[in-house]
Structure 1
Amino acid sequence: MNYNWSDVIHGDRWKSSETLWIENGTEYSWKQVDELTQSIEEVIGSQDEVRVVLVRSPSKLGCFAGQLASWRADCVAVADDGDLGQSELEHVRPDLIVSVDGDRPTEVERETHAAERFPTSRLPDEIVAVNFTSGSTGSRKAVGVTRGNLQALFRCRDLEVPTSGRLVSGSFATPTYDGWWFDTWKAVAAEGAVVCMPNVNEDVFDWPELSKKYGIDRMLLPAAVLATVVESLPGCISDVPWLYSGGERFRVSTYQQARRAKLTNQFINLYGPAEATFATHKYELSDEITTGPVPIGKPLEGCKQRLVDPGDRADGCHELLIDGPLVCLGYIEHGSLSTRFSADDGEASFRTGDVVQVDNDGSLVFAGRLDSQIKVNGMRVNSAALERDVVVLPEVSDCRVVQNEKHTFAFVRVDQEQLVDFSARARIESVVKQYSNAVKVELVDHFPVKASGKIDTTALMIARFAKNEEQE
């Protein structure tokens, strides 16, 4: 397969009448997507001195075509399906905002005097797109993705799956998150097809029909979403042979529940920060894994890892550094590249801040973050270790420690019948009290998730205090 950048975005494939994109029940050929792309590119080309283009669209197709049009116009593509706020726009400071509705651009907004205030040279030529971090470790950051990063992802054989024909990818990710590159562009670069899956909160019952009709080969689902689907509606994913998970810790309990539900899918646990394009490590689960945390695995093709002493820890842990062509260029702030990710020798390198251990197989096991220490009533508590020790209890599916100005809660996900099981609560509380008597235990039967698929800890806290008000 030719993954040359010019061939991917300009090649003859865009003349094909074969189906490329399926969204909301409508099929679009390569040629139809190309026609939409050309109309957006004409808008971009009609403006002077444009470097960063923000494409707004309620449809994934509009965002995809906007990215392609921006690349053909030698611009940085920023796609927004409604997820980006003013703080994210301040990071990238787009020169041009193009709104796309249906099969055509409908509105164009030019930043006043943008060319004078923000010269096109403000970002290096190799940057073609932006990843936004989830903000789980602070405010969301904008990451400069290069064409070399994306080509390395396209070529990565460790992220390929065996198919009997064209690769068909079920797309769940939103365009502002790094999973988008895997869901859509890696499949398109391989001349495959993309099926946009309805959100879990919308109509997950459409998934089986889409899977059977189009023969979906793989899907990427955040761990929290996958856990919910496996628990409540396992049949919705039974026809997808390869299921990838990432973004948060994959639980052994999810895998065991999937096997009890007679799911035969191959489950892959992925790890990688947004600063590394999409992923850097993978681990294929097997029935041999029955207890303990699921490893994040070993480096993908082309990725390198370095394990460094994290300082005052004495538990066999290391901080993880990642090197290689998937590491992005750096952070973008106020419209310019502010921080480069590189080692002393100038090679691409990123210090993740994640702490890992090495298992007997040489695979890495995520053990928390360097900044997982929180203060509770003036005492330091390792929230990652607390969560890890609670999750090994047989009745527990997941645990999240959440803190605000006044309170610290351990939200523990259990089966509904165990919400009123006093013995289960007692076992959980005894583990939590080993860390702090001031951490309160709150049992829940599900975790709300954000559009990105990550657990919405803010919603957990709101629901907790709303319940208090009802009880009063």
Structure 2
Amino acid sequence: MNGFEDGTVPRLADGILERRCGSDATAVVDLSTGEQVSYRTLARRTQALADLLARHGVGRGTTVAMVMDKSAASVAVMWAALRLGARYAPVDESLPSARVALLLGMCAPTVTLVHHRHRALLDGAPAGTVLTVGAEPPEEPGGKQWDPAAETDVRPTDASDRSPEDHAYVVFTSGSTGLPKGVVISHRSLCALLEGVQRVVGFDDGMRFLNVAPLFFDASVVDLWSTFLVGGSVHLLPRLRVPSQITRACEEWRITDTLLVSSVVRMLVGRFSDAGRRDLSSLRRLWFGGESCPVPVLRAFAAMVPGLTYVHGYGPTETTHSATLFLTDDIAGHDEEFLPIGSPLPSVDLLVVDDGLRPVPDGETGELLIGGPQVMAGYCGDPERTERALVSPPGSGGARYYRSGDYVRLRDDGALMFLGRRDDALKVNGNLVHLSEVEAAALAVEWVTDCCAVPAEHPVAGKVIGLFVLGRRDGTGPDEEELRRELALRLPAYMIPARIDFLADEDVDLTASGKLDRNRLRELTNK
């Protein structure tokens, strides 16, 4: 496997640059513009950007944030940060400015690259040196800009002081305390993931991977880095609006692999006839995860696109995207409601434990603990939260395990079945959402007295968020439109509740501790 044969952790970006910088093979296709970028060109652009970043203080142990649309330019940012020994931190450009500032404050970037369309998001934010991308017209003399088309000759990098424990990237997720978390992943963790995935699944240099996930979503690390390591091409799909974008791109570019959240797979099945039957015979593998996908949905997809291998991945962001995989090319042969989440990747150590963190007998339900080199370095600037998330169960010899909060059961064939969450989290379009964070945003609205966020089922979208709100403090009555506007200032779009219900005093059921009765409200939501 490229870069791992000697058992060492490679310098990821440098290793790819050294092997591919003279290649005219296509590395990136930007489907929003049609631009095709070769490995040679990407390497030369990366070197030019790395030189610019270094002049602004970027080096080992620093952070390069990016508030940009997905593009070949944003891929060059990731490469350049890693080449300098820095970590990259993608930030969703559609977020409200207050949340962008919060995330930047957590990761403390030395430099933030921002597309000129989103420059206003950084006003007053702790962004370090700001480099504007693609400004039109050019800024006044002395303005700090980056021309994504700039190139220079690729030069060797002195990486003698680098460590496998150096940070590779930061991904932000929803937090159970009402605040987001910045998950820090090291080079060792990322390379362990890539080695494991390629050993289990197997790739070749003809792979053409359709990247649907945003770059600020951890699924993108599998799409991009697995493909780059074998010299394949990554096809960047713009922000997903309709399922036909995927089928059209698969047909036009002869895509071999794509990774989708399960809700998108459901949409593809439900909308396939509307999009028209396309030639998807180039597809070899359909990757999916982020939430459970019913087997009948997969059977319907298999009937339309025969001959695929299905790769079901499971893993929290804190364990570098996928801790387990389940592969099958026989969906029709499965009669369960959901596929298992499979077996651990080669470097992953799993324990199924009771509430005391003691192993349960095989076949019994327990919480999943995940150990090994894929476990995160920690949360950005939050050692206390890191300490709570990483535990050393009895008999582990002090080894760190991530406490997933997921209940699982080991089947007789050795595959794990996912059974549910221990806490209040759920996956919405593949994004982990803690309902307490939705509640915290609602309670920050002046007139909200109390609220309760609950999971709900939608016939097409699958898991969505429902929000029950108690009264107005000023007594003027509920206003759903106003509440949605307020929430949009505080939360990303995927965390905005699909359904909001206002409770009158006579509708309120309280628990013994005086809180809104979640179980009762969940029953009301799903009626």
Give TM-score, length-normalised by structure 2: 0.65
Structure 1 residues 409, 20: closer, same or farther in 2, change over 3 A? closer
Correspondent of 1:181 among 208, 215, 221: 221
Cα distance in 2 for residues equivalent to 1:406 and 1:238: 46
Quick check: 1:257 aligned with 2:312? Answer: no
Structure 1 residues 190, 299: closer, same or farther in 2, change over 3 A? same
Cα distance in 2 for residues equivalent to 1:347 and 1:15: 43
Task: Tell whether the 8 Å contact from 2:251 to 2:280 is kept in structure 1 after alignment.
Answer: no
The alpha-carbon deviation at position 259 of structure 1 amounts to 3.6
Partner of 2:496: 458
Any residues of structure 2 matched to 1:326-345 within 5 Å, and which?
326-333=374-381, 339=386, 341=390, 343=392, 345=397
Task: Tell whether the 8 Å contact from 2:365 to 2:407 is kept in structure 1 after alignment.
Answer: yes
In the alignment, structure 2 segments of 5+ residues that lack a partner are 4-9, 118-131, 136-142, 146-162, 428-434, 440-449, 462-487, 503-527
The alpha-carbon deviation at position 104 of structure 1 amounts to 6.2
The alpha-carbon deviation at position 226 of structure 1 amounts to 1.2
Task: Tell whether the 8 Å contact from 1:66 to 1:79 is kept in structure 2 after alignment.
Answer: no
Task: Tell whether the 8 Å contact from 1:252 to 1:289 is kept in structure 2 after alignment.
Answer: yes
The alpha-carbon deviation at position 49 of structure 1 amounts to 6.5
Task: Tell whether the 8 Å contact from 1:15 to 1:30 is kept in structure 2 after alignment.
Answer: yes
Any residues of structure 2 matched to 1:322-471 within 5 Å, and which?
322-333=370-381, 339=386, 341=390, 343=392, 345-372=397-424, 405-406=450-451, 411-414=456-459, 456=494, 458-462=496-500
**Once the two structures are superposed, what CA deviation does each residue of 1:184-236 show, in whole Å capped at 9, x if it has no partner?**
1111012111011244315x434344324433221100111111112212746
**Once the two structures are superposed, what CA deviation does each residue of 1:377-421 show, in whole Å capped at 9, x if it has no partner?**
xxxxxx99xxxxxxxxxxxxxxxx9996456766333379xxxxx
- Superposed CA RMSD in Å reads 3.8
Task: Tell whether the 8 Å contact from 1:132 to 1:176 is kept in structure 2 after alignment.
Answer: yes
Any residues of structure 2 matched to 1:45-84 within 5 Å, and which?
45-48=54-57, 51-83=62-94
Quick check: 1:42 aligned with 2:85? Answer: no
Task: Tell whether the 8 Å contact from 1:70 to 1:77 is kept in structure 2 after alignment.
Answer: yes
Letter matched to residue 189 of structure 2: N
Cα distance in 2 for residues equivalent to 1:73 and 1:410: 43
SS state at 1:97 partner: strand
Give TM-score, length-normalised by structure 1: 0.71
Task: Tell whether the 8 Å contact from 2:208 to 2:233 is kept in structure 1 after alignment.
Answer: yes
Correspondent of 1:297 among 342, 345, 363: 342
Paired-residue identity, %: 22
SS state at 2:386 partner: strand
Cα distance in 1 for residues equivalent to 2:453 and 2:194: 43
Structure 1 residues 211, 406: closer, same or farther in 2, change over 3 A? closer
Structure 1 residues 174, 414: closer, same or farther in 2, change over 3 A? closer
Partner of 2:126: none
Structure 1 residues 153, 190: closer, same or farther in 2, change over 3 A? farther
Structure 1 residues 89, 270: closer, same or farther in 2, change over 3 A? same
Letter matched to residue 316 of structure 1: E
Structure 1 residues 302, 73: closer, same or farther in 2, change over 3 A? same
**Once the two structures are superposed, what CA deviation does each residue of 1:350-390 show, in whole Å capped at 9, x if it has no partner?**
111111112232211111122259xxxxxxxxx99xxxxxx
Letter matched to residue 230 of structure 1: V
Cα distance in 2 for residues equivalent to 1:89 and 1:209: 36
Task: Tell whether the 8 Å contact from 1:167 to 1:192 is kept in structure 2 after alignment.
Answer: yes
Partner of 1:31: 40
Letter matched to residue 11 of structure 2: W
SS state at 2:72 partner: helix
In the alignment, structure 1 segments of 5+ residues that lack a partner are 110-122, 374-382, 385-400, 417-449, 466-472
Partner of 1:232: 271
Letter matched to residue 34 of structure 1: A
SS state at 1:200 partner: coil
Partner of 1:147: 187
